[in-house]
Structure 1
Amino acid sequence: MKALFLKWNQISLVKRILVGIVLGIILALTVPEAAKGVTIFGSLFVSALKAVAPVLVLLIVMSAISNHKKGHKTNMKSILALYGISTFLAGLIAVVASFVFPVSLSLVKGAENLTPPEGIIEVLKTLLFNIVDNPVHALMNGNYIGILTWAILLGIALRGAGDTTKNLITHFSDAVSQIVKWVIQLAPLGIMGLVFDSIASNGLSSLLDYGKILLLLVGCMLLIALVVNPLIVYLTIRRNPYPLVFRCLKESGITAFFTRSSAANIPINMSLCEKLKLDTNTYSVSIPLGATINMAGAAVTISVLTLAAVHTLGIQVDFSTALILSVLSAVSAAGASGVAGGSLLLIPLACSLFGIPNDVAIQVVGVGFIIGVVQDSCETALNSSSDVLFTATAEYAKYRKEGRELTNLA
């Protein structure tokens, strides 16, 4: 048994995850009555990732900043620029696609108890209050903006501490990183449970009525992932971007697709950054920050569903007004980290731009929840995988500027 276990661990994690996906599909189709016994693996895996991620972010950022050497530059400005460009272009492409392929909705009830933000000011206000959140509360609730703020401040304050204190923080950071590696090894079992739960509980029949809107959403996200983001990478580093793009999608996007949580995927992304030998001082900040502000998938969701409501109600909209929507969706998506319900709850805010009443906008949110099993999975996969993609791109651009050879982008 031990030899079998060792051989299993020698297989690449991606291949093991693919085995988990296949087993989950087979079990869901053959023994759906075993739901409780199998789905618990998925719930435990996601819970474990969510539990370890806040502590990992706090300690690894504190360690990186407290041990930061003067003169060692990070790439955060470049990364933030890449995050912003990608998110804006995602919203813009979603607007263009919605005009080229207009889709109408069969509006539904069932989302009346939600309380979406009333305006962009409320979204930004929530973001500011997340920054000054109590550190214990931020850790307990997975508020990564608050966690990052405290980690950065504590790291700066500890720069003048003795080597013993800094070493202690580093050792704690290394210990939590090791725990993350142990949790990630459970990914095949966890993914199997998540796939089983998704197929056994939801099936795909409920999605058929919304095939057109799903096709538009997923098509836009694929266009961003496979054309727009690679183009951004190519223009930045002037090298073939696809080896890096495909590796990020394979090692980050697959797990993000099934966990449907950018927060849960933070440990996966940090592990991938370590494999890519990126600068710890940079990715320890850029990855958790990207999980809250790099939201190209969310910008697509907000734009597409809002314009679907516009087409459903027969509202005439000129392209310049729709262009404002792409900016609004990008800013809203980036500032929505503290809003429960993610991108869907920002749809009423975007609908208000076109004078759509709130009761209709909430019905559009209801449609979003129905197709969420696919929409949210694709959105998270795009958002999370591009966190690593742009972190690596910024570092490789720095290599290129310094004249260092880019022998292996992935």
Structure 2
Amino acid sequence: MTTSNTCPITGASAEDPLPFPFDPPTAIAPPEEWTQLREQCPVAYVRTPQEDALLLTRYEDVKTLLSDPRFPRSPQDEETAKAGSSPGSGSSINMIGAEHMRWRRLLSKSFTAKRMQAMRPHIRQLTDELIDDMIADGNSADLRTALGFPLPVYVICDLLGVPAEDRDKFAHWSDHFLNLTRYEQSDVEQAMSELDDYLSAHVQLKREQPGDDLLSELTSIADEDDGRLSQQELVDTGKGLLIAGHETTANMIGKMAAMLLSRRERWEELLADPSLVPAAVEESLRFDANLGFAMHRWVSEEIQISDTTIKPNSMVLSAIPAANRDERAFENADEMDFSRGPNPHLTFGAGPHSCLGQSLARVELATVLSALLERLPTLDLAVGEDELERRQGLLVGGLEEVPVRW
């Protein structure tokens, strides 16, 4: 896998790798290993529940892995590819090179930051309705189930033109698609099959009876050079938007609130100056130590990273939240600072595979945070930080509950 031998700080080696993921002190705090590895072992041997790999923890190394074409999402040789394949790995979600760039060019004609900003009033309306329900039920709630979980799926269903009565189905499919340990493989495959069938029929309906939703627009958009999106590309686009637009944002809403409320001075700073909300969203994204499993890539050719030679067809993991706390890239990286700027965190990835849904995520997070500050200024965590529990096995990271009171 590499010419390096043993990590000087941990003693980990190819024969005796570190267990990964690491155990953090609390559900929203970073594990101690990140600092150790960044300083003395930036390319470390680790053993995940699925396989052995190399782990990168420094900002520049992780950014390279995410953006360099020599780190494809799939291995190059057939034997390794078969062993490393996963549900959905053959779909256009995992396209690379020219094929992927064509897909992004077509999609970007409609999925613009301006369009996402135009959704803000509707997102605020949905947010206020959910907060109304919270207030009607008393002076406490689980913020994840009351607001964080339902809001993004409502938004993504509206984007796709999905009827309100089908929102629960999308929530069910999304949970199965992104949870690595909660469900049996057969259950995950069944959920993915159901989602594929639903979206195939839904795309065909939008072709025949278009509305004013994003998916209807995508069925008709075409380009002189790139043609138009195929049926399978539209289905996979709907699938990708569900993943980017539901579970990731749903869990980030709860984590953002927990990070801000766990240190009361952070919340008070935003109450005193609501104009800091966009910066607080960016800093929460950077500061998030609970991003779930690391992003994986394969090495297509021998490459040198941080004085370590990595051989072709090696599995390499990027610890994005560790990179986001690298002092080489961020001054006082372990402090949440709403005046930080620029803030080039890697939470949405980097390069040609950076998250296409990041504009929508930012709008949702900023809208939710502004609404909570305005509607519930006395909001507070109902438990201590050490009582918060991580959601286990979730690819995108999250908290089981975010108990709050006001």
Return the TM-score normalized by structure 1.
0.34
Q: Which structure exhibits the higher relative contact order, with contacts defined as CA atoms closer than 8 Å and separated by 6 or more residues?
A: 1
Return the TM-score normalized by structure 2.
0.34
Question: Greater strand percent: which structure?
Answer: 2
Question: Greater helix percent: which structure?
Answer: 1
